[in-house]
A and B are shown apart, each in its own frame.
Chain A
Amino acid sequence: MLRSRTNLHPYRVAFWAFALLILALALLDRHPIDLAAEDELSEGSWAPRRGRGDTAVILATEPPAGQATYGYAWVDLIEQEIGPVSALPVDELGAEVYQSFKTLILTADAASTQTAQSQVEALERFSAGGGTLLIELPQGPLRQTFGADGRGGWRQARSITAATGLEPDNLESLGRLPLLVPFKGSTEPRAHAETLLAMDGAPVIYAMRRGEGAVIVADADFGQLLTLIQRGASGPHGQVQQRISGRPPLASDLVSDLSLQGEEVPLADLLERYLVHHVLSFQHPVFALWPVPNGARGALVLSHSASSLDGRPLWRSMHERTLRARTPTFVPAPQSDRLDQAHHWRDEPGHAAFLWHPYPDEAELYQTWNLFGFTPLRRPLPLTEQRDRLSAWLGSNASIQGIRSAEGLWHQEHDAPWRAMDAAGLAYSASLGPSGQLQPGILFGTCQPFRATDSRGRPLRLFEVPICFEHPSDPDSIGQFQAALERAGQEGWAIHLHMNTDGIRSKDDLAASSAWHEALVYAERHQLWIGGPGELAAFRRQRSEAELKVRNWSVQTTMADGRPRVVEFIVEAATQHRGTHLVIPAQLGELRFDSVHRGEAAAQRPAMADRVATTPAQLLGRDVRLLQLHPGFTTVSIRFTR
């Protein structure tokens, strides 16, 4: 009765139910329900670190929550310029530390602690006994004992105006370094101190000889300066300040100062090298491990990105392999999790690295759930799932170590991408670099690996290797890149070039490919090291694990006036890898490098047979000699004569 009145036949109900279902599915297919997905984030570690070298960086103990410290930049700096380094919390400062190390760096955070300030006498004894002590922003008793009066207050300098020992060309470059932190001014210079570095004419780094050692004071937070330049600057609470609103943050939004646009010199590297090879070597020579593999005079670091998996995305890496370089090509995860695609380049997964889409919805990277051919439900793929999908697609031989954030995209939280990459167990990232509207150039002051840190300044395991030149295609950027590469070959810098490996579709691509081609030819001809960021990061890690200690030094003979005539240094080095070279200064004040002999006994009875060959090189305008270290333990005596 009811059915006939309302015409509610069962097939009619079924029809409309089916129609509604299809309609609902079609609507959901066009506007699917997006489930939330979060990236897992790791935390930095403040654990003490014992390296097998002569230098220790004294850091504050665990920084208070919500506060950032910058002392780790000194650890990174020593690791880059010397190799082995120790990072110790200030409460470990004691007799054992004074005996174990020849150089101590008291970072600003550590120097502000009561523990450090209560160690003034011990620190005096350490320097008088032959140690080199660098104190950053000394306070209280430390300032009274070692520093200038500091009564000038905080001052913001415009540029570095003097750097003792630095040749004019490099000084001019250093003068372009953006001074993002103030320095502590004084009303008068410290008595008997030699100014090593001045900002706007005021001494900022000065040194005093104490007994056989020296005390060096830095009246600016160089750790913070280097951190801001290399890791980028962000706003309050670690929020990235976008230069153009209305789009996701870019890595180039982290660039600390726009004056770095078009820069051809790695200014942060230049400052670091100056701090080690001119400042820390004020009293005693600094023996270091050469920063480029195989003792090459410079490095051309190459990485590539492909926007899709089609075609031959690895073609540039495959060619570079013929030059004995293992360079990565960052490729994205496939949009589908079907693994039936067959590409011949999957036989070469060793070159593939991971191009991460931090905003997977924009790249259509979803985990989907299907019904009747419709997709009503989906979830954006977080970093680890993108990586896993790429690994599965590449096959069992894939071992993804490197990552790059696609299109230079970043996150609102400054440290979030690095922490996500670190949590995924990746070894290095090549995400910082030119992107967006900024002019190309060495925007982060370095092209060399540095350890990424979280927003509190704690180091992660991940290395960041910033890109300095991105697919240069117009004459200006090609010219800048070529000038930077030429300079890298002359002064031992690394230049990181990143190329797009999508097909050559335009005149710009042709020009960029020609620039890449010429760079490879130049690097080969000038014997630069060619490799990938992962290789360089691995070399950096190997160097830091090596041993490098000056066991002893002695004056063998003296002049009539008592000045030393022949000085011998016994240096112990141990490495497990090939391609490591010891850097020996060619000049020690009035003394010149004479020879290197194998073994300790050679110091007393040098024989021609024990003599080891060295090759000349230049480091920041100074002559040095390079000694090849073979895997294993090496003891050499290095002789300087007048």
Chain B
Amino acid sequence: MARSLRQSWRRLPRLELWLSIIAAIALLIHNLGDFKLSRPAPPEEQQPAPAPREINQGDVLVLFPVASQSSSLQSLSTDQLWLNAIEREVGRARMIEAGSFTTNNLRDVAWVVVPRRASSQLERAQIDALQAWVNTGGVLILEQPEGPWRSLLNTLPVSSARRPTRNVTSFDGAITRGAVRDELLRMPIRTSIIPWTPDELVRGHDYEVYMEVDGLPALVSIPSGDGKVYMLLIDIGRAVANLTQGLTGEDFTLDQNPNEDASEFGPPFVAQMISDPLRGTIMVPFVDLLLRNLLLIPDQVRPIARLWAYPELHRGALLVTRTATEYASLSLELGQADSSRGYTTSYFISEGLLAPEHILRLARHGHSLELAATWADSHSAGRAITRSRTIFGHPWSVRPATMREQTTTLNNQLNPYPPAIAHRNLEGVWTTDILEGWSRLQAAGLLLDSTLGSDAGDFDPSLELFGYTHGTGHAWRPIDRNGNRFQIYELPVHSVDRNPGYSWPRLRRLIVESAERYHTTIVTDWRVDTLVEAPAWDALEGWQQVRALAHSQDLWVPTLSEYTTFLFRRLSSDISSTWDSEERLLTIKAQLPVSEAAQRADDTRTPAIAFPARIDGRTVDRVEVNGVDLDVNELSLSGDRATHLLATTPGIHEIKVWWGYGNLEIAPPE
């Protein structure tokens, strides 16, 4: 047996065996040449949204509830979204926690906003103080009140009868008229309403209905002494959150996407965050329109002054951004083409795709350089930004780079130019837990994210996404699960030239209507790869013409860096007013600071000041700025003709506005 085996072994063709083994090894080496060990991503830094701090300046006081961690979307407190609304429409709001609220906090206040959750945390004594204050001429905006409010309202909605809503069905109280008001009636409103039909009150006498949702009163006003209570029977905060922040699962997560053979699941796309009714081409900023109209109504009781959302008398803003993914040399040439026409662009730069000298050259030309990043743990295949360990210069193990690492790398490359402040995800994807995304970006030191909104067809190449897919044309601060607002702003993209919904005529309309109707900030993304991979006339024409169109419409065309700086400067400005109802005189005090660094950089833009164009049908009779009369005929009007605009300069100003008898055909009292 042993001999036989030895003979067999001898018979074995050793040369062929060795050749086969060598061939197999060569094949293995050939196929594994690019093999690298893959290491998991390190945990990303996160920074939860901070609790709001008390602010004691401004005409509008917003009470916020005691923060509590919510485990589900249903229990999330959206009260602080009111702060977004007030900051957008009026300027910085006064803020105080509901539990700490006292009569003293009502001094020099024109309006008080009590959101839904805060309303249930007020004690009887606090409500009594509010009632006394309303009787003296104050305005109270109350959202789905719960608690001991009966004494103030004479009746109380029964919260247990709450039911879901669909659409606004009438908005007779809207200041906006004509076609824009008709747009409001198309607004999808996915929230809850408490049916309210008080038998003991008479409609038209004891209360008035300003807005109806699904045929039920949604906004009513109840007079109280010299003041008025505006009661919202819908949960506006919830409606706004659903549209702007997006609909998610109950646990704040988005569905992951299976790959082609369903063997793996990829990260969710930002397009999935868009609320169903807004998934398409949306030419109306429903949220902005609704909130502006809500906040214009109380002016008729107690007018206030507002900080306009833009500097000088600009009627809106256009942010031209360019996501530079590949084709580095073209990015540079497009930047030079813009520079040669005196334009600056905000570039979202992805690590490793643009040489450091090219980044510096773009920065030198005044372009704003921002971060296009991938999530360390949830990026699509093929576009990971990594960190590797090497042996003799050969990388043997790689891991995804964290958000902070990507930010630091770009900022180092940008030195000595200012660091990146904004972020856009390179692949249009988001974290599975949507709140975690903002938390990570905030931890990385970024101030603004512009990923949400229209995409480059990443989610579905045939899905048209264009316009106000998050219902807004303004930057807003998202709400964390504890109900607090993140510090980082979210500014959704309205137009991506790669998306099938994009067309130049559509963008033209968006821009024109922004100037004439909505006064929004339009964010466009002209992707570098569009011109290379999917060139189109509209993409080329749009990019070349968009800024000229925006300038012709009196839109402000800043870089993201300039825009964000202005956003924070506006929030650090103070505006307050006193109202003399006898003389119909509004005295406005505005403090508009500009830092020394900004002054050195010749950036002294301050927001314009807005005040109602009419009070009780009376037009503005006289305006005095720092003791000097202005020609009222020269006053600029907002597109909805509801407010006048007054350009300002840095510093402290006192402005007096008198409303007279303008259009009223009655004789003035003798």
Contact = CB atoms under 8 A, between A and B. Distances in A.
A316 interface: yes
Nearest to A503: B532
Contacts of A311: 532-535
A504 B11 contact: no
Interface string A157-170: 00000000000000
B139 to A, nearest CB: 53
Contacts of A514: 544
A199 B330 CA distance: 52
Contacts of A315: 534-537
Contacts of B19: 19
Contacts of B538: 319
A637 B230 CA distance: 83
Given A7-B13, A15-B13, A506 B333 contact: yes
Nearest to A19: B19
Contact of B336 (A15, A319, A507, A513): A507
Interface in B273-330: 327, 329-330
A506 B329 contact: yes
A9 interface: yes
Interface string B329-345: 11001101100000000
Nearest to A310: B533
B330 to A, nearest CB: 6
Nearest to B461: A344
Contact of B333 (A11, A12, A318, A507): A507
Interface string A2-20: 0000010101100110010
Contacts of B533: 311-312, 503
B24 interface: no
Contacts of A504: 330, 531-532, 535, 540
Interface string B537-580: 11011001000000000000000000000000000000000000
Contacts of B337: 507, 510
Contact of A517 (B329, B336, B541): B541
Nearest to B532: A503
B330 A505 contact: yes
B16 interface: yes
B512 to A, nearest CB: 20
A386 interface: no
A510 B539 CA distance: 12
Contacts of A252: none
Interface in B581-633: none
A312 B536 contact: yes
A507 B531 CA distance: 12
A316 B534 contact: no
Contact of A9 (B11, B531, B532, B540): B11
Interface string B119-154: 000000000000000000000000000000000000
A7 B11 CA distance: 8
Contact of B537 (A7, A316, A506): A316
A49 B333 CA distance: 56
Nearest to B336: A507
Interface in B246-267: none
A453 interface: no
Nearest to A511: B337
A503 B531 contact: yes
Contacts of B536: 312, 315, 319
A501 B538 CA distance: 14
Contacts of A318: 537
Contact of B532 (A12, A15, A505): A505
Contacts of A513: 540
A505 B13 contact: no
Interface string A492-528: 0000000001011111001001100100000000000
A319 B537 contact: yes
Nearest to A514: B544
A12 B535 contact: no
Contact of B535 (A11, A501, A507): A501
A7 B10 CA distance: 11
A178 B386 CA distance: 64
B535 A503 contact: yes
A315 B333 CA distance: 22
Contacts of B537: 315-316, 318-319, 517
Given A7-B13, A9-B13, A15-B16, A517 B535 contact: no
A319 B535 CA distance: 11
A16 B534 CA distance: 52
B13 A506 contact: no
Interface in B6-42: 11, 13, 16, 19
A12 B15 CA distance: 10
A68 to B, nearest CB: 44
A510 B13 contact: no
B534 A510 contact: no
A517 B541 CA distance: 8
A318 B544 CA distance: 19
B80 to A, nearest CB: 45
B336 A312 contact: no
A312 B535 contact: yes
Contacts of A507: 333, 336-337
Interface string A59-83: 0000000000000000000000000
A493 to B, nearest CB: 26
Name the residue in B327, B330, B541 with the highest tally of chain A Cβ atoms < 10 Å from its Cβ: B330
Contacts of B534: 311-312, 315, 503
B206 to A, nearest CB: 60
A11 to B, nearest CB: 8
A505 B11 contact: no
A311 B333 CA distance: 21
Contacts of B16: 12, 15-16
Interface string B506-550: 000000000000000000000000011111111011001000000
A505 B336 contact: no
Contacts of B333: 506-507, 510
A510 B334 contact: yes
A16 B15 CA distance: 11
Contacts of B13: 7, 9, 11-12, 15
Nearest to B333: A507
Contacts of A19: 19
Contacts of B329: 505-506
Contacts of A11: 13
A30 to B, nearest CB: 16
A346 to B, nearest CB: 15
A513 B542 CA distance: 13
Contacts of B544: 514, 517
Contacts of A15: 13, 16
A15 B536 CA distance: 57
Nearest to B16: A15
A507 B335 CA distance: 11
Interface in B325-384: 327, 329-330, 333-334, 336-337
A312 B16 CA distance: 53
A513 B544 CA distance: 11
A503 B329 CA distance: 14
B534 to A, nearest CB: 5
List the 4 closest A-B pairs by CB distance, nearest first.
Answer: A503-B532, A319-B537, A504-B531, A507-B333
Given A316-B537, A514-B544, 8 more contacts: A19-B19, A312-B534, A312-B535, A315-B534, A319-B537, A504-B540, A507-B337, A510-B337
Interface of B: 11, 13, 16, 19, 327, 329-330, 333-334, 336-337, 531-538, 540-541, 544
27 contacts: A7-B13, A9-B13, A11-B13, A15-B13, A311-B533, A312-B534, A312-B536, A315-B535, A315-B537, A316-B537, A318-B537, A319-B536, A319-B537, A501-B535, A503-B534, A503-B535, A504-B540, A505-B327, A505-B330, A506-B330, A507-B333, A507-B336, A510-B333, A510-B337, A513-B540, A514-B544, A517-B537
Interface of A: 7, 9, 11-12, 15-16, 19, 311-312, 315-316, 318-319, 501, 503-507, 510, 513-514, 517
